[in-house]
């Protein structure tokens, strides 16, 4: 079964609506809803007083209607009494401002009081509904750290110090890692260490980086605490929490991934090429679970309400979005939210049941999508095999986020998504993985922008290349160690040998400035004076310095770019490197083609046509869900999707 549904928030509606909701869910083919996510103030209206009657009735209705519950612990939104009774548990920002209730996630992640109250309500929910026929999976919290990723209060400061003691053991080691002899920051006592609160000027980069690591760990620790509690009470019910893969960068999702029974992630359309960003997010979500099928816990049927201009989806767009996620390994397609709210901060966010009711594009498309997913049940459990990987590390992004860098215009996430976009255009399905993960299954590894890399990560790429892989490394990668200390002796210190290049100085370009290349292209944002040691130079600046190099390394080769390329210039390099690695297909522009397969060999081709014209792709098998034979060529109408169970060649 492909799971289909969304967040159901019955507490926002009079009880008469609930039965109608479940009837509509059946009509739409909805088989699972997330419920109770923001219900803490209903479940525990007064501290210590629990009221479950209403949720009992909701879950009973779901069970009777054959709809599963992805039942939430309501801990993402503490009720007003919480902040009033325990003001010391409210989050505090870097400027010392306390953030109050009135929205959601108003708690300090390191607060023992918050943890105690959250675990208490989670335990009540778990004991109440353990064994309930609707209960299928736990939805722990909601989007950890979406609004309170870092807290700078005194409680957090003490927890940060404890985390640092654990990490470094001695103050000497910490002083060394952070380079505290710079600007007289040497610590003589653990108690002197603070979170990176507002300072007169640039804060210590090591301190900032470790605080981000600590903050991510604090949230992960909260997840673990709830998950462990739930596992004690309902050992057979899996648990997850909805990540925001590719959308949110404050938590190290590579550390969350292994802790979730199934990866769940949320995605909303953003940027100029929203479907490319969607693919990136889906590939990252899949990679966080080591390739296992994952849950798309939220996306939108149409407009969201939190962008400056909230674009409504055109007819057919929601279906393309959903099938893109499915193609990239999701076994569940869910939305925020079931019924569009009448009141509250998200009343202008689309839902599966819009304000205007059933006679609408949205409702018709919701029903059609439900029918389509029902017809694709056999796809569930199949997986995506990627030949290429993009390396990404949250710590590197955090380190580069320090304001004192050679340029603030070299933005790693922009580079990563731009490079990913070229691979997408070339039809290369990629995993998005941590630099220290097993790379042996890939033929191509691209490293668009990885300022920080550990020794282990650096050696990993060398090993991959030596074993016959092809690597493509972007500028300002491999520059610092895991403490954000420069790797000396010529940049990029981590990969000087692998790339056969040594860089003596960076020359960041001004806004709008370009550096022409002898091959006809041009770079922006960044340039550097590099010398090829063992590498062959494939393209140069007009001054003769290397712009693109290739170095043989063991059985493989490592390419390096010393400037940022875009458009066709970047495409040419990526295409050449793909050809050398033997990955990619002859992609039709705008026709996204991805495959999933079962271990028994059943294989599915997904084709999503993002263009306004009919497109074709080679395929043989039967079209799903209707079983029409496909002989040699599949035609996908403009804006449509097609799925084929391929006949083994």
List, by residue number, the catalytic residues.
143, 298
Q: Is the dihedral of CA 568, 572, 574, 578 positive or negative?
A: positive
Which H helix or E strand runs over 118?
A: helix 112-129
Q: Out of 346, 387, 576, 580, which residue is the one contacting ligand GAL (CB under 6 A)?
A: 346
User: How buried is 258 (Cβ within 10 angstroms: 0-12 exposed, 13-18 middle, 19+ buried)?
Assistant: exposed
304 interacts with ligand GAL by CB under 6 A: yes
CB 300, min distance to ligand GAL, A:
6
265 interacts with ligand GAL by CB under 6 A: no
CB 197, min distance to ligand GAL, A:
27
CB 302, min distance to ligand GAL, A:
11
How big is the site for ligand GAL, counted in residues (CB under 6 A)? 10
**Beta-carbon count within 10 A of 579 CB:** 12
539 interacts with ligand GAL by CB under 6 A: no
C-alpha distances out from residue 120 to 70, 87, 532, 537, Å: 19, 19, 62, 63
By rule CB under 6 A, what string of x and - marks binding of each residue 320-339 to ligand GAL? ----------------x---
Distance between CA atoms of 126 and 141, rounded to whole angstroms?
A: 13
Distance between CA atoms of 283 and 390, rounded to whole angstroms?
A: 10
Q: Which of 106-114, 139-147, 272-280, 392-400 is the region at the interface with ligand GAL (rule: CB under 6 A)?
A: 139-147
How many residues are there in the chain? Answer: 649
Closer residue to ligand GAL, CB minimum distance, 145 or 523: 145
Query: What are the structure tokens assigned to 262, written together?
Result: 């199934």
Angle, vertex CA 612, rays to CA 608 and CA 613, nearest 5 = 85
Closer residue to ligand GAL, CB minimum distance, 326 or 340: 340
Closer residue to ligand GAL, CB minimum distance, 340 or 444: 340
616 touches 633 (CB < 8 A): yes
Closer residue to ligand GAL, CB minimum distance, 7 or 481: 7
316 touches 639 (CB < 8 A): yes
Closer residue to ligand GAL, CB minimum distance, 143 or 431: 143
Q: Out of 146, 284, 594, 644, which residue is the one contacting ligand GAL (CB under 6 A)?
A: 146
Strand-strand pairing, 68-72 and 330-335: unpaired
Q: Out of 18, 223, 268, 419, which residue is the one contacting ligand GAL (CB under 6 A)?
A: 268
266 interacts with ligand GAL by CB under 6 A: yes
253 interacts with ligand GAL by CB under 6 A: no
The contacts of residue 198 (CB under 8 Å, 6+ apart) are 94, 95, 96
CB 145, min distance to ligand GAL, A:
11
CB 431, min distance to ligand GAL, A:
24
Q: Out of 275, 286, 349, 443, which residue is the one contacting ligand GAL (CB under 6 A)?
A: 349
Residues 34-93 that bind ligand GAL (CB under 6 A): none
627: DSSP letter = -
Check whether the bond before 337 is cis (ω within 30° of 0): yes
Closer residue to ligand GAL, CB minimum distance, 88 or 346: 346
Strand-strand pairing, 514-516 and 522-524: antiparallel
223 interacts with ligand GAL by CB under 6 A: no
CB 349, min distance to ligand GAL, A:
5
For residue 606, what are the β-bridge partners?
594, 643
Q: Which of 142-150, 385-393, 480-488, 541-549 is the region at the interface with ligand GAL (rule: CB under 6 A)?
A: 142-150
Q: Out of 39, 111, 142, 234, which residue is the one contacting ligand GAL (CB under 6 A)?
A: 142
* Selection from 636, 644, 594, 4 nearest residue 318 by Cα: 4
CB 172, min distance to ligand GAL, A:
42
Helices 53-65 and 112-129 pack at an angle, to 10 degrees, of 50
First to last CA, the chain: 27
143 interacts with ligand GAL by CB under 6 A: yes
Q: Is the dihedral of CA 474, 476, 481, 486 positive or negative?
A: positive
Closer residue to ligand GAL, CB minimum distance, 355 or 536: 355
CB 477, min distance to ligand GAL, A:
31
Closer residue to ligand GAL, CB minimum distance, 270 or 529: 270
CB 337, min distance to ligand GAL, A:
7
CA atoms within 13 A on the CB side of 475: 27
Residue ranges in 551-633 assigned as alpha helix (H): 567-581
Closer residue to ligand GAL, CB minimum distance, 180 or 350: 350
139 interacts with ligand GAL by CB under 6 A: no
Q: Out of 210, 226, 298, 425, which residue is the one contacting ligand GAL (CB under 6 A)?
A: 298
400 interacts with ligand GAL by CB under 6 A: no
Distance between CA atoms of 266 and 262, rounded to whole angstroms?
A: 13
Distance between CA atoms of 296 and 328, rounded to whole angstroms?
A: 11
CB 315, min distance to ligand GAL, A:
21
Q: Which of 140-148, 323-331, 454-462, 587-595 is the region at the interface with ligand GAL (rule: CB under 6 A)?
A: 140-148
The contacts of residue 246 (CB under 8 Å, 6+ apart) are 267, 277, 280, 281, 284, 285
In the complex, which residues of this chain contact ligand GAL (CB under 6 A)? 142-143, 146, 266, 268, 298, 304, 336, 346, 349
């Amino acid at each position: 079964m492909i799971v289909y549904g969304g967040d159901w928030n019955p507490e926002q509606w009079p009880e008469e609506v609930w039965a109608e909701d479940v009837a509509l869910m059946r009509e739409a083919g909805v088989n699972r809803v997330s419920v109770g996510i923001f219900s803490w103030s209903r479940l525990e209206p007064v501290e210590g007083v629990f009221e479950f009657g209403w949720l009992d009735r909701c879950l009973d209705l779901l069970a009777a209607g054959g709809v599963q519950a992805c039942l939430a612990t309501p801990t993402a939104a503490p009720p007003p009494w919480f902040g009033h009774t325990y003001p010391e548990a409210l989050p505090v920002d870097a400027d010392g401002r306390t953030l109050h209730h009135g929205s959601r996630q108003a708690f300090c992640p390191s607060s023992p009081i918050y943890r105690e109250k959250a675990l208490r309500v989670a335990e009540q929910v778990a004991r109440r509904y353990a064994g309930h026929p609707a209960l299928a999976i736990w939805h722990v919290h909601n989007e950890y750290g979406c609004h309170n990723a870092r807290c700078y209060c005194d409680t957090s400061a003490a927890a940060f110090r404890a985390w640092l003691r654990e990490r470094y053991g001695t103050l000497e080691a910490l002083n060394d890692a952070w380079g505290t002899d710079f600007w007289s920051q040497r610590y003589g006592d653990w108690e002197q260490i603070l979170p990176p609160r507002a300072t007169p000027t640039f804060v210590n980069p090591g301190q900032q980086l470790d605080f981000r690591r600590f903050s991510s760990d604090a949230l992960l620790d909260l997840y673990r605490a709830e998950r462990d509690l739930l596992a004690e009470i309902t050992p057979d019910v899996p648990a997850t929490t909805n990540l925001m893969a590719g959308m949110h960068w404050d938590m190290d999702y590579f550390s969350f991934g292994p802790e979730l029974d199934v990866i769940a992630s949320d995605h909303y359309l953003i940027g100029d090429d929203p479907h490319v960003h969607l693919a990136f997010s889906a590939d990252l979500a899949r990679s966080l679970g080591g390739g296992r099928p994952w849950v798309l816990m939220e996306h939108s049927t149409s407009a969201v309400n939190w962008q400056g201009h909230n674009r409504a989806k055109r007819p057919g767009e929601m279906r393309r979005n959903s099938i893109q996620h499915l193609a990239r390994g999701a076994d569940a397609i869910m939305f925020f939210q079931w019924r569009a709210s009448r009141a509250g901060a998200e009343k202008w966010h689309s839902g599966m049941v819009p304000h205007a009711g059933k006679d609408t594009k949205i409702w018709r498309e919701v029903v059609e999508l439900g029918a389509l997913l029902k017809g694709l049940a056999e796809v569930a459990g199949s997986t995506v095999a990627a030949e290429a990987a993009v390396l990404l590390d949250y710590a590197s992004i955090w380190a580069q986020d320090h304001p004192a860098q050679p340029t603030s215009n070299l933005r790693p996430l922009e580079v990563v998504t731009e490079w990913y976009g070229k691979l997408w255009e070339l039809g290369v399905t990629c995993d998005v993985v941590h630099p220290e993960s097993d790379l042996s299954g890939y033929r191509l590894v691209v490293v668009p922008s990885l300022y920080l890399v550990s020794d282990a990560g650096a050696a990993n790429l060398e090993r991959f290349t030596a074993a016959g892989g092809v690597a493509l490394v972007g500028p300002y990668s491999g520059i610092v160690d895991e403490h954000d200390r420069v790797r000396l002796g010529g940049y990029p210190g981590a990969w000087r040998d692998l790339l056969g290049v040594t860089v003596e100085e960076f020359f960041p370009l001004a806004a709008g400035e370009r550096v022409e290349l002898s091959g006809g292209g041009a770079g922006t944002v960044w340039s550097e004076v590099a010398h090829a040691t063992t590498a062959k130079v494939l393209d140069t600046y007009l001054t003769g310095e290397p712009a693109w190099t290739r170095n043989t390394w063991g059985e493989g080769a490592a390419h390096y770019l010393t400037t940022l390329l875009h458009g066709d210039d970047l495409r040419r390099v990526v295409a050449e490197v793909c050809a050398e690695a033997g990955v990619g297909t002859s992609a039709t522009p705008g026709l996204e083609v991805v495959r999933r397969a079962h271990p028994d060999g059943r294989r599915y081709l997904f084709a999503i046509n993002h263009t306004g014209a009919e497109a074709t792709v080679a395929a043989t098998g039967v079209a799903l869900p209707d079983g029409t034979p496909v002989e040699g060529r599949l035609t996908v109408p403009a804006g449509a999707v097609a799925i084929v169970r391929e006949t083994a060649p």
